Structure 1
Amino acid sequence: MSAGSSSNKVSELILKFSCDDQPGIVASVASLFSLQGFNIRESSQFEDVSTRRFFMRTLLESVEGPKSLADVMSAFQSVADRYKMTWELTDAAEKTKVLIAVSQWGHCLDNLLNGWKRGYLPVDIVGVVSNHEVMKPLCEWYGVPFHYLPVTADTKPQQEQQILDVMDSSEADLLVLARYMQILSDDLCKKLEGRAINIHHSFLPGFKGARPYHQAYERGVKLIGATAHYVTAELDEGPIIEQAVERVSHANTPEELVEIGRDSEAVVLQRAVRWHAERRVLLNGKKTVVFNR
């Protein structure tokens, strides 16, 4: 159960939850919020028939003026307890605060910053951390705080603590690895479970590790792609949020595959961050349910 700042007065709420499937769930939820003075503006639901798990995301609008989020949460608690829900109720107007980690390639970072500046990406980018200084001018141009955090094998624990410190001081909700070419420690992955998204420059689960486009070239692939997923201690094995593929041919060089892949990476990562920020992603074991309309 989560709510952000439960002391807020809210006009729109986003509810997302999962629970074991059983009769009456949707009716109970709709009835409760009707009694609380809310109208359903958007709703999506899904049953995983293999696990009998039910998933739902609903956008609710108050028809009686701003409401206390704490009061609405308290009222909903009885329904959540009845169905043993894993749930989150948030103010739809509250933007996810994002900290971005990057190394030396800026295509994903630039796409995220541009989407944020245009208002298309509904997040608040609170800073950028990097183990290199290459992206500092770009961040300064966008007016985003830049934190240079160099790292070596010996200083990795201290540097990762610095990342956590920046997240704490900036009140970041989400860490986005925008081609951050460092493997996070198991300890950091566990601390950020469900709160860190990575972009992998291949169509997982194939071509893991270094130089995936060169691996793809050597295998003569006809499709390449990119994968955005939640970060876990198992390298490149986290729940997948979004993927995309592009058709290529024998005529493309490895360098051309890299450029095509970078375009895919930027698009896929922005979609994943957007859907996470809009509370459209629900964890389903090692998978996700994504209500992306």
Structure 2
Amino acid sequence: MGSRVPRGRILRSRTVPTNSELPRDHACLIVNGPDQPGVVAEVSALITRHGGNIVTLDQYSSNPQGGAFFQRVTFHRPDLAVALPDIEADVAATLGPLQMQWRLTDQSIPKRMAILASTSDHCLLELLWRHRRGELPVTIPMVISNHANLASDARSFGIPFFHVPSQGPDKSEAEAKILELVQGNVDFIVLARYMQIISQGFLDDVAVPVINIHHSFLPAFIGAAPYRNAHERGVKLIGATSHYVTKDLDEGPIIEQDVARVNHAMTAADLQARGAFVEREVLGRAVKWHAEDRVIRHGNHTVVFTDRP
């Protein structure tokens, strides 16, 4: 079945930093389903008959004979807001018989992103800085943390900060408070080194994508001191992984990864500093691509349409 951004959750009053230019009258249509002849032609004809002009088109097939098909197309249509309901109805009527799933978004509307953090500030500050520079097509309604030490950092960027303590094995009270803050107010959540395990119940109730970042030492170097453990093993390569959160810890669909070379002369602190840099870069790219509707989830992996190899 087709899906779209619920009409009640599109807020025309959302604002982004003044140095950010979101494309007006541009839409993005994501399509995926069983590969078959004619899908590209149907999508192109649909856009044309509604007066749209295709700006970019990316597609991928896992196998042209019985495989899965993925497509991301952006198009310009004057007065898009007026035409969008008719376009959505046509997309549903056209792609439904082809058993294709779809998502249609107005690219002038930034997604609302909540950030959850703990005590480490590098990933949080990276996102806040990119947002202030207009590099992320998002608004940030709130930062939530189980510690209070990052409050001044968030508020210095003009972002509301909420302290929700989470202590002991039972996280239900903290999760309930977080749900109260985010439900209906955000389109996705980013765990910017939020050092708490997210329950399946929370994921079910929040009903929006949750993106996480962690070092790529998992599962080889788990625990509270992965960089120290990696240093003791004499690793020569470190990295970071950003992925969607699922009930299986650190095993959700991967969005982006990167690595950096290290050597024997580097201390555990050196590895941690280099790792923090990679984590910031990887998370920044993953958030940007998700916010730009470049990521299609398929089972436990993703198709990501970017200009990177």
Alignment counterpart, residue 125 of structure 1, candidates 136, 140, 150? 140
Compared with structure 1, are the counterparts of its residues 64 and 202 closer, same or farther at alpha carbon in structure 2 (3 Å cutoff)? closer
- The 1-side partners of 2:58 and 2:114 are apart by 29
SS in 2 for 1:151: coil
Which position in structure 2 is the counterpart of 1:145? 160
The Cα of 1:189 is off from its aligned counterpart by 2.8
1:25 aligns with 2:46: no
Q: Distance in 2 between matches of 1:133 and 1:290?
A: 35
1:106–1:39 CA distance, 2 compared to 1 (3 A): same
- Structure 2 runs not aligned, ≥5 long: 13-23
Map of 1:62 onto structure 2: 77
Runs of 4+ aligned residues of structure 1 deviating over 6 Å after TM superposition are 7-10
Aligned residues: 292
| 2:109 is the counterpart of 1:108 | no
Q: Percent identity?
A: 42
CA–CA distance in structure 2, aligned partners of residues 141 and 156 of structure 1:
29
TM-score, structure 1 length as denominator?
0.93
Residue number in structure 2 paired with 1:166: 181
Task: Provide the rounded CA distance (Å) in 2 between the counterparts of 1:275 and 1:176.
Answer: 13
Are 2:283 and 1:282 aligned? no
Between 281-290 and 10-19, the greater mean CA deviation after superposition: 10-19
Tell me, what secondary structure is at the counterpart of 2:75? strand
Local SS of the residue matching 1:67: helix
The letter of the residue matching 2:162 is: H
Given that 1:6 and 1:70 are in contact with CA atoms closer than 8 Å, whether structure 2 keeps it comes out as no
Q: Is the 8 A contact 1:57 1:291 kept in 2?
A: yes
**Residues 217 and 42 from structure 1, CA distance in 2 versus in 1: closer, same or farther, beyond 3 angstroms?**
same
1:156 Cα deviation (Å)? 1.3
Deviates more, 1:200-209 or 1:258-267: 200-209
Structure 1 contact 217–254 (Cα < 8 Å) conserved: yes
CA-atom RMSD, angstroms?
A: 2.0
CA distance in 2, matches of 1:133, 1:52: 49
Distance 1:89 1:52 in 2: 23
Whole-Å separation in 1 of the counterparts to 2:239 and 2:191: 17
Once the two structures are superposed, what CA deviation does each residue of 1:123-163 show, in whole Å capped at 9, x if it has no partner?
10110000000000101111110000001226510110111
Displacement of 1:79 after TM fit?
Answer: 1.8
**Partner residue in 1 for 2:49:** 35
Amino acid at match of 2:149: V
User: How far apart in 1 are the matches of 2:54 and 2:115?
Assistant: 33
Deviations 1:64-87 (A, max 9, x none): 765332111001112221221121
Residue range with higher mean Cα deviation, 140-149 or 3-12? 3-12
Structure 2 residue matching 1:121: 3-state secondary structure: coil
Unaligned runs of at least 5 residues, structure 1: none
TM-score (norm 2): 0.89
Contact 2:217 2:226 survives alignment (8 Å) = no
Contact 1:193–1:232 (Cα < 8 Å) also in 2? no
Stretch of structure 1 that moved more, 180-189 or 21-30? 180-189
Is 2:192–2:212's contact at 8 Å kept on the other side of the alignment?
yes
Q: Residue 85 of structure 1 aligns with which residue?
A: 100
1:92–1:48 Cα change, 3 Å? same
Structure 1 CA distance, aligned partners of 2:224 and 2:40?
46
Q: Which amino acid aligns with 1:107?
A: H
Distance in 2 (CA, whole Å) between partners of 1:184 and 1:219 is 30
Distance change >3 Å, CA 30–CA 137, structure 1 → 2: same
Letter in 1 for 2:279: E
Residues 231, 238 of structure 1: 8 Å contact kept: yes
- State the shift of 1:211 in Å: 2.3
Which deviates the most, 31-40 or 202-211?
A: 202-211
What does residue range 212-223 of structure 1 map to in structure 2 within 5 Å?
A: 212-223=226-237
Cα distance in 2 for residues equivalent to 1:175 and 1:65: 27
Tell me, in whole angstroms, the C-alpha distance in 2 between the residues paired with 1:139 and 1:40: 39
Q: What secondary structure does 2:4 align onto? A: coil
Q: 1:207 to 1:292 in 2, by over 3 A?
A: farther
In 2: Cα distance, 1:261 partner to 1:236 partner: 17
| C-alpha deviation, 1:283, in angstroms | 0.6
Alignment partner of 1:114: what SS? Answer: helix
**Counterpart among 280, 287, 291 of residue 273 in structure 1:** 287
Deviation at 1:175, TM superposition (A): 0.9
